Amino acid sequence: MSASVAPDRKKATIRCPFCQSWNRIDLSRAADRPRCGKCSKPLLLDRPLKLDDETFARTIEQADVPVLVDFYADWCGPCKVMAPVVDQLAAAHQGELLVAKLDTDRSQATAQKFSIRGIPTVILFRDGKEVRRQSGALPLAALEALLK
């Protein structure tokens, strides 16, 4: 009998955008479109998660993978230019990276906690801690470089 080694399972805790319940997700199965345990609606990990002051800390701290957060505002021109790039990054790294967005106008406490002075600003978190940050609109290659 040969012993097989189980792949390293990466987990994340995210809130369902429909019913607001928290779900622990196995990211190795992200492409299978996991569903909320309460309402059964899909938890779409191929696009950025929307975070706010209430969901930010738990999402960042309980992720076994890096989390890239785009701090933005709806009125910001460069943020609008960068939005499709952030979407591309989420789709390309589904299951190995969580990509999230935080509206700095609606979540001022979190923006203030991280001293967001200009938008867009992206911050990469690992193990719940900030490891890199970059301000200004960035192309996909620059966002990919932040992950390295």
Please identify which of the residues 19, 36, 39, 79 carries the catalytic annotation: 79
Q: Is residue 19 annotated as a catalytic residue, yes or no?
A: no
CA atoms of 19 and 1, how far apart (whole Å): 45
79 is an active site residue: yes
Closest CA to 67 of 132, 141, 139: 132
Using the 8-state DSSP alphabet, how is residue 13 labeled?
E
For residue 110, CA distances in Å to 34, 56, 94, 105, 120 come to 28, 8, 25, 10, 14
* Under 8 Å between Cβ of 122 and 114: no
Catalytic residues: 76, 79
